Homo-oligomer: A and B are copies of this chain.
Amino acid sequence: MMTEDLKEELVRLRRDIHMHPELGFQEHRTAGLVEGYLRELGIRTWRIGATGVVGEIDNGGERRIALRADMDALPIQEENPVPYASRNPGVMHACGHDAHTAMLLVAAKVLSGMEFEGKLRFIFQPAEEGLNGALEMIKGGALEGVDAIVGLHVWSQLPTGTFAIGDGPVMAAVDRFRISVRGNGGHGASPHETRDPVVCASHIVMALQTIVARNVDPLKSAVVTVGRISGGTAFNVIPDVVEMEGTVRTFEDEVHELVERRVKEIAGEVSSGLGCRAEVEYEHLNRATVNDPRLATIAREVASKIGRVTEEQRNMGGEDFSEYARLVPGVFAFLGVRNEEKGIVHPHHSPRFDVDEEALPLGVQFEVSMALRLLEEGF
């Protein structure tokens, strides 16, 4: 399907973007590159927000299928000794969005040269990393008229040549909570004149363990992590406040609700039992990314003609593709980019993260095939 020239262009594009990483909502250069490339192909484009780009090929017909890539990079200093390493100090494409963008551009090129009936929309979104750029795109109309959406994520734990496509939830809902345990500080030698928030916070941490251990169905998945705890400045002074921050990861809505409710109950009532008062801020950062089972079945069929399709893949990480897939049927596939021989083994968000570029044409094929299959046969 792809000429050697096109494969070279794909790598060139990916490396260009890799060398010029931009943080969320600041993807000005990247958005310009995407926009120019699509226009060059004769594809109509428009912006959503400052850095979101949408392109559309409208060949008539009823169906409109969307393909989505994300464009933002991470605040990480690259440590890879490669010629295409980041030129932008402290910023790096350590999660493969450079590859996502390049693959979708080349897929658009391939598709723009083919004949088909239907509408294809290419969504290049900003700010996937913690800023929920997807929601901004949706608010800006990116999903209007769309019947189904396809996303693809390079995956460092899968070898090149492999696709992983699961049914149902494949990435977790991500919450952030902050618990401020307010006691009443005082001299460390006079605990009886205080309400000790250090002891209270410790009790809360203990009790939070029972959510996963006791409250959640053992056949379901959840994580409750306190990542930061901080209170007091002196060894001999009981502080007024201990602050904790943490994250909750879940797949199913009922588990999500259960865990949120239990975090709040535990913080509130255990602290009250210990004579303190807890304030809980609880934010939903990402919803769970849930694959439509019919689309997932189709995606596995499509992928099985390109590479190996492994057993189901789920992980507790978050992804704002979830926002699209809440509104229209969606499928989010993982593309293997690990290559032990080449030493491409570092995990996502590592300063040594890289992708095996041999895998990129497979991703383009998957996107092209999915687009045509869904337009032609529906689902």
With A192-B216, A206-B206, A219-B221 as given contacts, are A201 and B229 in contact (CB-CB < 8 Å)?
yes
Determine the chain B residues whose CB is within 8 A of the CB of A209 once the complex forms: 199, 206, 209-210, 213-214
User: Which B residues are in CB contact (< 8 Å) with A246?
Assistant: 188, 235-236
Bound complex: CA A228 to CA B318 (Å): 33
Contact (Cβ within 8 A) B213 A316: no
Does A218 count as interface, using CB distance less than 8 angstroms? yes
Kindly specify which of A24-32, A141-149, A261-269, A321-329 makes contact with the partner chain.
A261-269
Looking at the complex, which one of B218, B247, B274 makes contact with A235 (CB distance below 8 Å)?
B247
Q: What are 10 A-B interface contacts by the 8 Å CB criterion?
A: A178-B235, A188-B223, A188-B227, A192-B218, A202-B205, A202-B206, A213-B224, A229-B230, A235-B245, A270-B273
The answer, yes or no, to whether A307 is at the interface (CB within 8 Å) is: no
Name A's interface SS.
mixed
B-contacting residues, A174-231, CB 8 Å: 174, 176-178, 187-192, 194, 196, 198-199, 201-203, 205-219, 221-231
Determine if A272 is an interface residue (Cβ-Cβ < 8 Å): yes
Q: List the interface of chain A (C-beta within 8 A of B).
A: 172, 174, 176-178, 187-192, 194, 196, 198-199, 201-203, 205-219, 221-239, 242, 245-247, 249, 262, 265-266, 268-270, 272-275, 314-318, 349
Return chain B residues, CB-CB under 8 Å to A349. 187
CB distance from A294 to the nearest CB of B (A): 14
B210 contacts A199, C-beta separation under 8 Å: yes
Contact of A249 with B206 at beta-carbon distance under 8 Å, contacts A189-B316, A212-B212, A272-B269 already known: no
Taking the nearest CB of chain B, how far is it from the CB of A263, in angstroms?
11
Q: Are A176 and B236 in contact (CB under 8 A)?
A: yes
**Chain B residues with CB below 8 A from A272, complex form:** 265, 269, 273
Question: Given A192-B218, A223-B191, A316-B218, A239 and B232 touching (CB < 8 A)?
Answer: no
* Chain B neighbourhood of A270, CB < 8 A: 203, 269-270, 273-274
- Report which of B189, B196, B213 forms a contact with A317, defined as CB distance below 8 A: B189
B202 touching A218, Cβ below 8 Å: no
The CB with the most chain B CB atoms within 10 A, among A227, A237, A316, A317, is that of A227
B221 touching A218, Cβ below 8 Å: yes
User: Which of B196, B218, B265, B317 makes the CB contact (< 8 A) with A273?
Assistant: B265
Chain B residues lying within 8 Å of A213, measured Cβ to Cβ, are 191, 199, 208-213, 224
Q: Which chain B residues lie closer than 8 Å to A232 at the CB level? A: 226-230, 245
Contacts of A217 in B (CB 8 A): 190, 192
